[in-house]
A and B are shown apart, each in its own frame.
Chain A
């Protein structure tokens, strides 16, 4: 059974870099065919796709985040990470990591497996 678990600080100061890690169990992030994604949800609001990483390391990001995002993988730990720089209060949200649906077209937004989510507050 594949499981994803987000971890990282729940409080980040404005202008600093938000760093989160998603630990994957039951599957390998470089097993091929899947995109590994980050999605966030502002309090009481809708979902926002942040970006994703293919197993090869290729990445795609939401252009609205204007170059502040970096997603990378650590195959030795079977983890992938999110870094969001120059954060403001507008980056306060629940952050989810997710994986594609098996057996379907990859990288088109079919998020079958999700972590439980981690709330990150940006505040001084």
Chain B
């Protein structure tokens, strides 16, 4: 079970938009719309910010948006703020009835 591939780091200036990619295969990201994204600040548990590729849980800022094309999912953070500095992980359901996480992307503002 291989981890989904994410860029190690992405940076942007306050107010800008950034996009984080999550590349899987036809057995996970490409096979299902069960893609989610998590935000993790140091020393804290991850927080779910996107599910079903594009949906936001209640209370999550609309500056976070998700999309998918083929085997690659993406998370876009618009209007970048200092509080967005964190590590972001994608996750996908897989054909083998398991769950995989991405390698993680450190976002610097």
A114 and B46 contact, Cβ closer than 8 Å, known pairs A46-B3, A105-B52: yes
Flag whether A74 is at the interface (Cβ < 8 A).
no
Interface size on B, residues (CB 8 A): 26
Chain A contacts for B96, CB-based, 8 A: 63
Chain A contacts for B32, CB-based, 8 A: 108
Interface size class on chain A is 20 to 34
Chain A contacts for B103, CB-based, 8 A: 46
Flag whether A80 is at the interface (Cβ < 8 A).
no
Q: How many A-B residue pairs have CB under 8 A?
A: 64
CB pair B89 A101 closer than 8 Å? no
Chain B contacts for A104, CB-based, 8 A: 51-52, 55
With A and B bound together, what is the CA distance between A105 and B99 in angstroms? 14
Flag whether A116 is at the interface (Cβ < 8 A).
yes
CB pair A49 B100 closer than 8 Å? yes
Partner of B101, one of A46, A60, A110, A112: A46
CB pair B89 A47 closer than 8 Å? yes
Closest to A61 in B: B98
Flag whether A64 is at the interface (Cβ < 8 A).
yes
Instruction: Identify the A interface with B (CB < 8 A).
Output: 46-49, 60, 62-64, 96, 101, 104-105, 108-112, 114-117
